[in-house]
Every structure is written in C-alpha cells, then in structure tokens.
Structure 1
C-alpha cells in the first residue's frame, strides 16, 4: 500500500470580518479612565454614557422577589416574557404613538443587541446604509457585521448636528436600503423637531427605505422639547421601521442589560430566529426588573431627568467660556458635543494638537480629564462629554479644561 504523503500544516486564520471591527471607543476611553482611577490618579471621566444614579429601589425589590420565584430559574421564550412584551407595547403606544402587538416585539440583551439584530434583519451584502454623522460608535460596526456599507452623511454644529432631506437625497443611490435615525442623538444630544422628523420619514417612505430608529433617549428631553417618534410623525412608515429602545438610560439600569426592538412582523420574526440561536432569552430576573420599571411609579426617573437638565445647563454654560470652543445647546440625552476646531493647531503646554484625538490625549495627560474624541463618532474636531456624573465632579472637570485652555 502506498503511504499517503503528510498534509502540510496550514497557518491558523482568524475571521477577517471580526478582525476589521474596532473596540468600542467610548468603552475604551472609560476603561482607561477607570484604570487610572484605580491607580490613584484623580481622573474625572466624561466618557461613559451611563447615569451615575442608583437603580430605583422598587425595581431592585422586584428583582429580589423574582429571585425567589422558581419559574425564573428555567428557560423562557427567546423573544421575552409575554408580560414584559405587553408592557413594552403599552410604552410604545404612549411614547412613540404606535399601536403594536406583543408579537412585534423582541426583548434583547440591552439596546446594543437590538441594534445588531435590526441590521441583521434588513441589510443584505452590499446594501448601503445612510448614517447621519456624528453617529454612535457602534452603528458602523454593526452595519459592517451585516455586510452592509455605511454611508456617512455629516451635519456640523452649524446645523445642530441634524441632517436634512436634501443631504440624505444627495447621498442616496440605487443601493440605499436603510436609514439610521436617532433622536435624541448620541453623541450630540440633538433632537429633531416634529417638522424635521416628518420630512425625513416621508422621504424614506417615498423611496422605500427601511428606517432603524434608536429611541433609547426619548424620555430624556429638556426645555419643553419632545422627541417625536418617526412612526408617530409618519404613521405609514411603521411598515418599514424598526424601533430600538431599552430601560438603561431612563431608569439607570445600564448593567441590567434589557432592551427591545419593535417592528413589522416579518422583520421581527427574522430577528427572533437569530436570537433563538444567538442568546435565547434575556435573564429572567432582569426582565422582571424591567417590567417593574415600565409599570411602576415614574417619580424617580423624572428626578433623574431634572438632574440631567441642571447638569446640561451647567456644562454648556461653562464650556462656552473657553475661547475656541463652540457648544450647541443639546435638547436631549446626556451629552454635549462641542466643536473644538478652534483649539487645534495652537500650542498648549508645549504641545500642538492637530486632531481631536491628540487633543483628548493632551487633556487626559495634562489635567486628568477623560473625554471621547470626535474620531469615535465621525470627523475629527469635536469632543463628546457625558454629563451623567455628579455635579461637583462635572464642574471640577470643566474648570480644569478652562485652566488648560486659558492661555
């Protein structure tokens, strides 16, 4: 018998798709700030999009009670507890003006999983996804994971970071299939007016474009603003819209990891099938906590919103005192997104930053303040600061910036 020649050993290869995905820039900066804090450095971090409040006690109590119920020790439907999906349907009607059935809802492990699954459900290889810019750092990566092509549509501080129908139309091609719509915005805090929302919704409807609308900050608005849902502004658009939401921001529940997606049954079925293989059901205890959040008293969440409003006015006013910084007034979320191009190309403590990435590094090194550079969200020349931190720290951090740039 002829001996078979040994097969040559091929080098191990990792996934090209995952190798192209970058780590979340916001989490990276936050982790660096926390490491410096652990090392004893007096760092003040504006990096994380995370409320500093404790989850309301009645929500924690509901979770504690759920721990004692053996029904929560077992698998439950992958799409979420029926009672929670009903509560989400009630919230969607109340806050987004859209009447849906529980069968149109999938409960996910945080809003981030809902975003991922939404793109997976409606994007095919080579599809172009219009991405208003500045954008949340996860969107382009989630689009790429669905084999789509993100097409950035930039709106600067002069437009309050809000894109127009004219800009979207100029970016549209025959390959355009999806639009990302976020109001209030992360990272800018901008809120589209009802008229702007209507115009964009009608444009997407007319051109047969899917809308993925992230409404995670819809209850955090200020100065009498209201984040009108695109499906409320244009009811017919509901047939081609997926809404993404969750309890993380409004209820200070970032670590509980409960989000959801709402949409047409055909798209939701695809997302449900994916989740059945990807993660199955969300932790039952966390789902029971989310149910309590949506159906319980809203007093504390309103107190959170009022506190955010106070901090918003404080940070905007103080940042505006820095020469070279332009600060649009955000009407939602808990971020401020100053245009800092006026600080670039100038010498600060013998260093001359030319990008917002270099500027952010300078700020951390010189005054121990952590901010996220604009490169994480689109073009350079901007910084994102979260004001979801204590009032004293917030003011101290801005004063360090004022001192640094007081030359």
Structure 2
C-alpha cells in the first residue's frame, strides 16, 4: 500500500543533533565505547530540592487532573515576577504560557504569528529547529550570518540590510546554541533600534541558556529596553539552567494577544504541561539557585579546559564562547584531506569520521547554518572530555 506523506513533512529536515545522538546510541549498543558530545543536555542531575517538589506534588494527591492550558496560575505568576526582577521585562501571569519545553513554546509562536509568504530573520549560526519551525508555519527563514571574528554574532547593520516588507520577526538565542556567544547590552541596544524603526516587527528572543553565562556583564534581555516589551517574545525554560531536560517545561512571555494565540494553539495540540513537572518548576524558579550557579562554575572550568585542548590541535580554530556549554570550532582546514581511506569533503564528513574512527560524536555545523564548523558539547565529565580530545587530536593528525 502507498502511504503518501504531506509536503510539510517531506520538506522538513530531521534534527541533526538527535540524528547524531541516535547513531551514537546505535554504536554503543554494539559494544563500542562512544563518547557523546552531540546533545545539548546537562550531565548533572536535577537539583534535589526540585526533585523533592515533584515528589511532594505526587504525594499530595492534588495534581492528578488536567492543568490549565497555559499553566498553573501560581507558576505563571512566579515566572512573571522572575522576569520583572531578574530580567527587567514588564510581564504578568496573563502574558505567560507554559509549554512542554521551549521547543513547543517556539512552535506555538510560529504557528500563531506566521502566514505563507512571511519572512523571519534568523541569526546564524542558529539552533537546528529554528529554520524548520519557520518552514512548518509556511513562512521563509532568512539567514543573517555572524563571523567567527565577531564571535559568530550578526550585527545591527546586517539586520537592517536584511529587513524587507515581508519580515515579520527576528529570531536569535543568547547565550547562543550552537556557538556559546552572548550578545552584549550595547549590541542588543543597536539591534533594538533597528527593530523599532519598523512598524509591527517583532523579536523572538530565546534565552534558555541565560543562567549559563560566564561574562562580567551578565545576561541581558532585549525585552527590557524602552519600547521593546511590546515587540518582544521572550522564550525560556528549565532544561538547561536547572538540569530539567526530561521534565519538559518551557515558557514564553509575550504581548497579551500573542500569549492568547499561543494558548489557543496549545489547547488544540497538547493542552497543558505535566502537572507534576509544573510543581517542580515552581520550586526551581522560587527557591535556591545555588545549584544552578555551581553548575555554571563547572561549565566555565570545562570550557577553559576544552579551549586549551582544542588549541593544541593544528587546523582547529576556536573563539572564546562566553555562555551555554558548546564550542563551535572552524575545521574547514581539513576539507579535502584524507587518512588514506576516507576523504573529508565537508563538516558532515568530518562528524561521521569522528564518530566512526575516534568514537566521539559531535554535530556538523551545516545543521546550524555554519558549514565550516562542528558543534562540541562539553556537558560531560572532565574524564570523558579529556579522553574525547585525545581521540580527536589523534584522528585529525592522520588527515593529510
């Protein structure tokens, strides 16, 4: 029997990070010692007090019914209070929509805002799902690409040149997945001025890595600038800073009409986020942040170690990421080289070569809009990272 699939699904690319993780798991199942540096998943356990809040919610017997579509009132109030206090973003509980991870939050926004023919400017390098979610909403992603010399950050001038009458929104992450780059206050102010010059132009600011920030300036939200709260959809969640990937809790803070539209979309697709996960999230956002700060200190130490090891590899070019837990080296010097059996044509080839020969999984930069790079996650133990870099250095040295 023929099973024709929709154009929508046929035109969608598989997530490269999940695909590489699946390949790594397949080799592991065969008994091969794979070191996985492909997924953006903290290697820490969810802090104990957050676990206990989830357990207490179960034991109370109060949270077994469907929760409100947009999230429990007290959690949304706590998120709004956090945004006002920590991010200087004007917000209220009515503007918050809690979803099944920040990925669903983004999908809700795209489906609520975009029509066929609309354009979304996506700062590149970009997280793999951005472009696919824009296309899922039948709009067109327009990429504005930053250079390694500028820490992969596009400039306000580049943004200004890319805006057309069809531009509906600007989408970026800071700290950035995949580069680890963080926009400064001055850079965001320049971007905000460009946006404010265009009527009805919105910003979608993905701030899921806000707590994993090594810079002296700290995290800055574009929604905090004068005139930007009514133009900004702030996307965030609990997966990265609180090591809660499996709990699946994300959220947006948006102008009220957009929040209502996202709730309407979510009501038809998944309804509300897990009741128990929301109680854990409430503890995460209102109680002790010390475990989050401790994790960030460890990530920074790992970053420094990884930069030192990568800089010992001839042909690998790195900048200094100031957030998240990724390094995004340029490895284009290896293109056209061979170990006598395998010819490396591009970053895709190099990622597969690393997996098959070094037994280290990384992700091709092509999936992030940067075909000269690979993404390395350092959300792994020091011993695993050191061993992975030993293996990587060895197999790269065999390419001539």
SS at match of 2:288: coil
Equivalence for 1:211: 203
Is 2:387 aligned against 1:399? no
Is the deviation greater in 35-44 or in 223-232? 223-232
- Asked if structure 2 preserves the Cα contact closer than 8 Å seen for 1:75 and 1:281, the reply is yes
Equivalence for 2:379: 388
Extract unaligned runs of 5+ from structure 1.
1-9
1:268-298: CA deviation from partner (whole Å, max 9, x where unpaired): 1100111111111111000000001111111
Q: CA deviation at 1:90?
A: 1.6
- Asked if structure 1 preserves the Cα contact closer than 8 Å seen for 2:306 and 2:385, the reply is yes
Is 2:189 aligned against 1:198? yes
Choose the corresponding residue for 2:312, options 297, 306, 321.
321
CA distance, structure 2, for counterparts of residue 313 and residue 349 of structure 1: 33
Equivalence for 1:331: 322
Is 2:154 aligned against 1:163? yes
Equivalence for 1:63: 54
Is 2:189 aligned against 1:185? no
Is 2:32 aligned against 1:41? yes
Is 2:367 aligned against 1:376? yes
CA distance, structure 2, for counterparts of residue 341 and residue 95 of structure 1: 40
Q: CA deviation at 1:126?
A: 0.7
Equivalence for 1:147: 138
Equivalence for 1:110: 101
- Asked if structure 1 preserves the Cα contact closer than 8 Å seen for 2:79 and 2:285, the reply is yes
1:18-75: CA deviation from partner (whole Å, max 9, x where unpaired): 2211221101111211221222111111100000001011111110110122321111
Equivalence for 2:300: 309
What TM-score, normalized to structure 2? 0.97
Q: CA deviation at 1:181?
A: 2.4
- Asked if structure 2 preserves the Cα contact closer than 8 Å seen for 1:225 and 1:331, the reply is no
Choose the corresponding residue for 1:340, options 309, 331, 336.
331
SS at match of 1:62: helix
1:82-105: CA deviation from partner (whole Å, max 9, x where unpaired): 111011112211332112110000
Moved over 6 A (4+): none
1:214-263: CA deviation from partner (whole Å, max 9, x where unpaired): 0000111114242210012x231111111100000001000000000111
1:371-397: CA deviation from partner (whole Å, max 9, x where unpaired): 100111113110000100111001110
Question: Larger C-alpha radius of gyration, 1 or 2?
Answer: 1
What TM-score, normalized to structure 1? 0.95
Extract unaligned runs of 5+ from structure 2.
none
CA distance, structure 2, for counterparts of residue 345 and residue 72 of structure 1: 58
Paired residue total: 397
Aligned Cα RMSD in Å? 1.3
Equivalence for 2:218: 226
Equivalence for 1:6: none
